[in-house]
Structure 1
């Protein structure tokens, strides 16, 4: 599970950096742990002075957490 959270933090950091340089992007990762497989998928894009991102995380028990955000100039 620690690998999943570490992977999520890395993906989040890359997502913020990518949003500033690209109009659209997608990142995904999976991690296998003692309780099963977890995954994270992040997408986003920029247009007309605002950038958005959507992150969905799924835990080994199948629980899903979604977070969205928008930043405008």
Structure 2
């Protein structure tokens, strides 16, 4: 169930991001499940041939997971 909620949050964030400006964006979503509320917040942007993103996920128990990434051409 947790994987389903997390997948749903990520897919929703990516769907909205596809319609946004490529230079800078922020997305967030929440989902309610039988164990509580989970949330995800993602930010990113591109400049000078380099793009980066930061994603923070918080589970219903309050555990937080953060992931960052950068790619350059």
For Structure 1 versus Structure 2, the TM-score category normalised by the shorter chain is: 0.7 to 0.9
Where structure 2 has 5 or more consecutive residues not aligned to the other structure, the ranges are none
TM-score normalised per structure 1: 0.82
Q: Are the aligned partners of 1:39 and 1:59 in contact in 2 as well (CA < 8 Å)?
A: yes
CA offset digits 1:5-54 (Å, max 9, x no partner): 22223424654x468x5211000000000000000000001111000000
Q: Which has the higher helix share?
A: 1
Verify the 8 A CA contact 1:56 1:67 in the aligned structure 2: yes
TM normalised by structure 2 equals 0.82
